[in-house]
Structure 1
Amino acid sequence: MSSITLKAVEKWFGNAQVIKGVDLSIDEGEFVIFVGPSGCGKSTLLRMIAGLEETSRGQILVGDRDATAEPPNKRGLAMVFQSYALYPHMSVRENVGFPLKSAGLPKADVDAKVDEAARVLKLDAYLDRRPKDLSGGQRQRVAIGRSIVRDPTAFLFDEPLSNLDAALRVEMRYEIAKLHQTLKSTMIYVTHDQVEAMTLADRIVVLDFGKIAQVGSPRELYEKPANLFVAQFIGSPRMNVMPATSVAELTLPKTAISVGIRPEHIDLVKKGAGQIDGTVDVLEYLGADTFVILSCAEAGQITVRVTGSATCKPGDVVGLSMPTTRVHAFDADGLAIR
């Protein structure tokens, strides 16, 4: 295991700059996840760490070693891709052990490492099967096993669950979380799925057009977003944002241009009893929760999360009560001011 440090890292494709001076320190054994919308540079940044993309400017350190100019095979990192890239004619045992066999290790050593990886990933019963006889989740575990046997300095995951259906993604999130607890290895993980980021990461790096918008624990990003971009990217449903002038009854900083509040922090009350009123448009019943979507004049569309079934119905006019302590204020540049 080792720490990974990025110092003023940039990536240019011709005249287009896609990574714009990123500084980041990842501690040994830490699980860090890069998130952001499509095109924000998260996969490019991961590939730069892996050595699969050249670093245009800046430094990448693996431990205390400057790895900026090193080829991928010298960095000691293992990458797990979105595609499993398994050899269809090989068994699970042969696929997992292939990197070691290619490196010329004795068969006994290869077998021992493969058996240990299979134990950790619960693949013991599948070692003699071919990839076509495995589920998507099992194939992804084989791909991860192929990385584990190399005993890498750190694991790099590039959207490894995006090819799986919803149920398998939940299962594999659990498997990856347990894997990190077992191996205690440094892991860097790229995803566009904020649920994966919130449930897996020690820290999340939110990227916006090649720059870091905020770095912090899942709780820090959810409860104290540094700007409007993070406030609306982290959280599902997303944070409600409205003009500060639309909720005049709230005591706000003078520089506040917009305010935000999470759907679960709004209470539905009688008309006129809250800061604003709204007309119920749609109810989205999800079992434990219901999302109430309302039209609120100048404030725009507002989503409220209520527990269980909502007592209101489309067309009802209700009040929205927003505790001041739960309201986030943002200035003209979109930066949080409280």
Structure 2
Amino acid sequence: MASIELKSVEKWYGEAQVIKGVDLAIEEGEFVIFVGPSGCGKSTLLRMIAGLEETSRGQILIGGRDATAEPPARRGLAMVFQSYALYPHMSVRENMGFSLKAAGVAKSEMDAKVDEAARVLKLEPLLDRRPKDLSGGQRQRVAIGRSIVRDPTAFLFDEPLSNLDAALRVEMRYEIAKLHQTLDATMIYVTHDQVEAMTLADRIVVLEAGRVSQVGTPRELYEKPGNLFVAQFIGSPKMNVFPAATPGLTLDAPLPAQAEHFGIRPEHITLAEPGSGQIDGTVDVMEYLGADTYVIVDCGPAGKLTVRSHGDTGLKPGQSCGLIFEPGQTHLFDAQGLALR
């Protein structure tokens, strides 16, 4: 396995710049996830690392070697795409071993590598089946197995779970997490789903309009977002944000003069009697999810704030309530959207 480093990497399509000077160091064996909204450049950046997109400026180092101008085949990377792209007329064993066969690897060595990959991915009972006889999750495991047999320097995943239904996505998240633990491999994974990012990554790279907005562990990004974009992108439901100068907002201490935006996460708000909290509002919508209930409260100038409450709150739409903010759990941002520490 190898480390991967990006140095001032840029991508231009004519006059349009889509990757805007990315610097990033990924350690050997690290699981890093690129996340961000559609069009932020995450898949383009991954394809540049793979060599499928030309790097306009900057350097890409793989294992300390400058691979910027190298073709994909010489980079030693394995890429797993959103589409399984399995050969329908081949068995699972043949699909997994196809690249080795094409490279002239001896049959005994090829079979040994396929058997080991099948053991890791729990595909041993399926080796003689065709893709049409497999579920979506099994097909994606075969696609991953096809990459494992090549013994790559790193794995690149481009939204590999987006074609699966909700239950299979959860199952495959577990499989990929276990795979990383087993192989201790360098992995870069692209997704627009921040739940996948939070549950799988050692570190998350949040991209916004071709730039790195923030890099950190899932906990760091959730608890200490560096800017307004990360604060509202990471977390579900997203952080409540409203103007710091909102009328009716009562706080224990005055806010810094540069504070323009006030943020608090739904789980750090407690429902109370009107007049007993930091702000009052009227219950707009109740979303009952079993263990949790999301209460959307219309707080006038502050807008609609989401409160995460456990079980039944006893409130009904149209009722007035107060909101108590947990001390030490508020976030402040300046006029540029940067966090105030």
TM-score, reference length from structure 1: 0.99
Aligned to 1:192: 192
1:154·1:185 contact (CA, 8 Å) conserved in 2? yes
Residues in 1 aligned to 2:302 and 2:250: alpha-carbon distance in whole angstroms: 11
Aligned to 2:14: 14
> What is the letter of the counterpart of residue 10 of structure 2?
E
Residues in 2 aligned to 1:140 and 1:238: alpha-carbon distance in whole angstroms: 30
Does 1:293 find its partner at 2:296?
A: yes
Aligned to 1:271: 274
Does 1:181 find its partner at 2:184?
A: no
> What is the letter of the counterpart of residue 112 of structure 1?
A
Residues in 2 aligned to 1:250 and 1:97: alpha-carbon distance in whole angstroms: 65
Aligned to 2:264: 261
* C-alpha displacement of 1:324: 3.6
Counterparts of 1:89-104 in structure 2, within 5 Å, are 89-104=89-104
Counterparts of 1:27-42 in structure 2, within 5 Å, are 27-42=27-42
What is the CA deviation profile of residues 185-232 of structure 1, one whole-angstrom value per residue up to 9, with x for unaligned ones? 000000000010000000000000000000000000000000000000
Residues in 1 aligned to 2:219 and 2:333: alpha-carbon distance in whole angstroms: 19
1:266·1:320 contact (CA, 8 Å) conserved in 2? yes
Aligned to 1:310: 313
Residues in 1 aligned to 2:250 and 2:324: alpha-carbon distance in whole angstroms: 13
Give the secondary structure class of the aligned counterpart of 1:49.
Answer: helix
Structure 2 regions of 5+ residues with no counterpart? Answer: none
Residues in 2 aligned to 1:284 and 1:83: alpha-carbon distance in whole angstroms: 35
* C-alpha displacement of 1:253: 1.5
Aligned to 1:135: 135
Give the secondary structure class of the aligned counterpart of 1:236.
Answer: coil
Aligned to 1:249: 251
Does 1:71 find its partner at 2:74?
A: no
* C-alpha displacement of 1:234: 0.1
* C-alpha displacement of 1:288: 0.7
* C-alpha displacement of 1:308: 1.2
Residues in 2 aligned to 1:249 and 1:72: alpha-carbon distance in whole angstroms: 57
Give the secondary structure class of the aligned counterpart of 1:125.
Answer: helix
What is the CA deviation profile of residues 156-210 of structure 1, one whole-angstrom value per residue up to 9, with x for unaligned ones? 0000000000000000000000000000000000000001000000000000000
1:3·1:27 contact (CA, 8 Å) conserved in 2? yes
Give the secondary structure class of the aligned counterpart of 2:137.
Answer: helix
Does 1:320 find its partner at 2:319?
A: no
Aligned to 2:83: 83
Does 1:202 find its partner at 2:202?
A: yes
> What is the letter of the counterpart of residue 244 of structure 1?
A
Aligned to 1:166: 166
Residues in 2 aligned to 1:159 and 1:308: alpha-carbon distance in whole angstroms: 34
> What is the letter of the counterpart of residue 91 of structure 2?
S
1:222·1:234 contact (CA, 8 Å) conserved in 2? yes
1:5·1:24 contact (CA, 8 Å) conserved in 2? yes
Aligned to 2:285: 282
Give the secondary structure class of the aligned counterpart of 2:297.
Answer: strand
* CA 331–248 in structure 1, closer or farther in 2 if over 3 Å, else same: farther
Give the secondary structure class of the aligned counterpart of 1:229.
Answer: helix
Residues in 1 aligned to 2:313 and 2:122: alpha-carbon distance in whole angstroms: 43
Give the secondary structure class of the aligned counterpart of 2:245.
Answer: helix
Deviates more, 1:174-183 or 1:251-260: 251-260
Residues in 2 aligned to 1:253 and 1:127: alpha-carbon distance in whole angstroms: 64
Does 1:235 find its partner at 2:249?
A: no
Give the secondary structure class of the aligned counterpart of 1:12.
Answer: strand
Residues in 1 aligned to 2:181 and 2:251: alpha-carbon distance in whole angstroms: 48
Give the secondary structure class of the aligned counterpart of 1:254.
Answer: coil
Structure 1 regions of 5+ residues with no counterpart? Answer: none
Give the secondary structure class of the aligned counterpart of 1:325.
Answer: coil
Residues in 2 aligned to 1:249 and 1:284: alpha-carbon distance in whole angstroms: 28
1:250·1:324 contact (CA, 8 Å) conserved in 2? no
* C-alpha displacement of 1:249: 2.4
What is the CA deviation profile of residues 94-125 of structure 1, one whole-angstrom value per residue up to 9, with x for unaligned ones? 00000100000011111000000000000000
Residues in 2 aligned to 1:266 and 1:163: alpha-carbon distance in whole angstroms: 36
Residues in 1 aligned to 2:148 and 2:187: alpha-carbon distance in whole angstroms: 12
Give the secondary structure class of the aligned counterpart of 1:245.
Answer: coil
> What is the letter of the counterpart of residue 303 of structure 1?
T
Counterparts of 1:322-337 in structure 2, within 5 Å, are 322-337=325-340
* C-alpha displacement of 1:248: 4.4
* C-alpha displacement of 1:309: 1.5
Counterparts of 1:25-64 in structure 2, within 5 Å, are 25-64=25-64
What is the CA deviation profile of residues 13-54 of structure 1, one whole-angstrom value per residue up to 9, with x for unaligned ones? 110000000000000000000000000000000000000000
What is the CA deviation profile of residues 65-106 of structure 1, one whole-angstrom value per residue up to 9, with x for unaligned ones? 000000000000000000000000000000000010000001
Aligned to 2:107: 107
